[in-house]
Chain A
Amino acid sequence: MSVFPDAVGLFFHRSASPPHFYALADRFIPWLTVIFVVLILAGLYGGLYLAPSDYQQGDSYRIIYIHVPAAWMSLFIYVLMAIMGGIALVWRIKLAEVMLISSAPIGAGFTFIALVTGSLWGKPMWGTWWVWDARLTSELILLFLYLGIISLHGAIEDQRNAARAVSILALVGVVNIPIIHYSVEWWNTLHQGPTVTKMDKPSIHITMLVPLLIMAIAFKFYYLIAVLQSAKLELLKRESGSQWVKTLLENQA
């Protein structure tokens, strides 16, 4: 605790205690939901109504308002999971383990959404559901990494051991992601002929960009809500024998 002032350390230790965190999450979730709904409505209105159609792609480009934020989230959540894995391994903070586990299915979900929306957009634009493009392939491998984490966690019965295993795997994965990404990109440039359309990036107009950024922030809030909800559930499962869960359930009953 020498690096941080005592007050900061105290705050983190208190927030990391399960009952305190549970109450905190309960208090935050309604506010986060309000912000999320406002942002998503603003983003969808801006993206689907205000933004002009693209001169080449017409209206089908509008899928980026789901696709791009989901793809960003898929990477963001993985990095976040690796950070929480590091915290869980070094400081053995139970809450970091819980957040790591709860994040994995959400991240996998965003990765899946990014792949599906990309494929839906690819059909009219590229004329095919799937191309072995570098980005698509590395996103697919990212999905496999998520699934590996989820299934490893499911396979180990002891909760603490499972969390440690998953933390190690998340850290190994995050070291590998750049290597995989660049090797796939390189593989693609070596093998790909001129048959596959590589969309050159037009600089995006401001009326299209603003809704995109709003959607990206809205997705972040959605992740926060989802991860807090499932972390609450995970905490109840893990601490089901402890006193605070008993009093909580008695108060609600």
Chain B
Amino acid sequence: MSLKSAFFAIIRRDLLLAFRRRAEMANPLFFFVLVVTLFPLAVGAQAHLLQSMAPGVIWVSALLAALLSLDGLFRSDFEDGSLEQMLLSPHALSLLVLGKIIAHWLVTGLPLLLVAPLLAMFLGLPEQAMGTLLLTLILATPLLSLIGAIGVALTVGLRRGGMILSLLVLPLYVPVLIFASSAVDRAASGLPVNAQLNMLTALLFLALVLVPLPTTAALKMSIN
């Protein structure tokens, strides 16, 4: 089996596993919608307030939804021993891990794009910002999955890793949050957003190259 076919086999396997448990796939989406719904209830329903808060609210909620879904990234493979089999396979673990992260993003990150326009409408985000919102989601949700993978790999062996996972990962999410929400914010007031999008793209490529390495090291640590 060549490396390429192993890589795609991992993605196919993870997608298949996810589609067999469709109910679980919808959970991050519900969570995303619910958190956004809480904000108007808490801060009041003034249209101008919600409109100015919309980019931040949507992005913080997307970040929390991503954080919540992270735990499933390696958990089941760790428990049933498939992770050890991947470690024993002749292919580089870092690429197999990258395949798992991509599959995870396709299942949990990409669907956020479906409901984001709805939420933007709820909060009264100007229509001109809609394209930018979707673009930042496309660029930055894979970043959330990638950066989160390091944290999951470090905590997967722990019985109660959830709280520590958020403590480890949230500070690392700060740049993503800053660039993504400021891009949406600027787009809403009709300003150019090239700089923010360029930064997000750069971060994405940097993470694609660098993240598999510490993730692999951390998984090896968690397994033994």
Q: How far is it, in angstroms, between the C-alpha of A180 and the C-alpha of B176 when the chains are bound? A: 9
On whether A179 and B175 interact (CB within 8 A), knowing A155-B158, A164-B221, A190-B182, the answer reads: yes
Q: Which of A33-41, A165-173, A206-214 contacts B (4 or more CB under 8 A)?
A: A165-173
Whether B158 contacts A156 by the Cβ 8 Å rule is yes
On whether A168 and B217 interact (CB within 8 A), knowing A141-B174, A148-B171, A155-B155, the answer reads: yes
Whether B161 contacts A155 by the Cβ 8 Å rule is yes
SS class of chain A's interface: helix, strand, loop or mixed? helix
Q: How far is it, in angstroms, between the C-alpha of A191 and the C-alpha of B154 when the chains are bound? A: 35
Select one of B157, B172, B203, B214 contacting A156, CB under 8 A. B157
* Residues in chain B near residue A172, CB distance under 8 A: 150, 172, 214
B173 to chain A, nearest CB (A): 10
Whether B175 contacts A165 by the Cβ 8 Å rule is no
Whether B154 contacts A144 by the Cβ 8 Å rule is no
Whether B218 contacts A175 by the Cβ 8 Å rule is no
Interface residue A17 (Cβ < 8 Å from any Cβ of B): no
Residues on B lying within 8 angstroms of A by beta carbon are: 150, 154-155, 157-158, 160-161, 164, 167-168, 170-172, 174-175, 178-179, 182, 199, 203, 210, 214, 217-218, 221-222, 224
On whether A184 and B178 interact (CB within 8 A), knowing A148-B171, A176-B172, the answer reads: yes
On whether A144 and B167 interact (CB within 8 A), knowing A161-B224, A180-B174, the answer reads: yes
On whether A186 and B178 interact (CB within 8 A), knowing A144-B170, A175-B210, the answer reads: yes
Q: How far is it, in angstroms, between the C-alpha of A171 and the C-alpha of B175 when the chains are bound? A: 17
10 smallest CB-CB distances across A and B, nearest first, come from: A183-B175, A187-B178, A144-B171, A164-B221, A148-B168, A183-B178, A148-B167, A141-B171, A179-B175, A168-B214
6 contacts between A and B (CB under 8 A): A144-B170, A147-B167, A161-B224, A165-B222, A183-B175, A183-B178
* Residues in chain B near residue A165, CB distance under 8 A: 154, 218, 221-222
Q: How far is it, in angstroms, between the C-alpha of A148 and the C-alpha of B218 when the chains are bound? A: 15
Q: How far is it, in angstroms, between the C-alpha of A173 and the C-alpha of B170 when the chains are bound? A: 12
Q: Can you add 9 more A-B contacts, CB < 8 Å, to A165-B221, A187-B178, A190-B182? A: A147-B167, A151-B167, A155-B164, A169-B154, A169-B168, A183-B175, A183-B199, A184-B174, A186-B178
On whether A151 and B164 interact (CB within 8 A), knowing A164-B221, A165-B218, A169-B154, the answer reads: yes
Whether A183 contacts B154 by the Cβ 8 Å rule is no
Whether A161 contacts B172 by the Cβ 8 Å rule is no
Interface residue A89 (Cβ < 8 Å from any Cβ of B): yes
* Residues in chain A near residue B167, CB distance under 8 A: 144, 147-148, 151
Whether A145 contacts B221 by the Cβ 8 Å rule is no
Select one of A141, A147, A161, A176 contacting B221, CB under 8 A. A161
Interface residue A125 (Cβ < 8 Å from any Cβ of B): no
Interface residue A29 (Cβ < 8 Å from any Cβ of B): no
Whether B175 contacts A152 by the Cβ 8 Å rule is no
Q: How far is it, in angstroms, between the C-alpha of A206 and the C-alpha of B151 when the chains are bound? A: 46
Select one of B158, B172, B179, B214 contacting A171, CB under 8 A. B214
Whether A183 contacts B221 by the Cβ 8 Å rule is no
Whether B179 contacts A183 by the Cβ 8 Å rule is yes
Within 8 A of B (CB), among A148-205: 148, 151-152, 155-156, 161, 164-165, 168-169, 171-173, 175-176, 179-180, 183-184, 186-187, 190-191
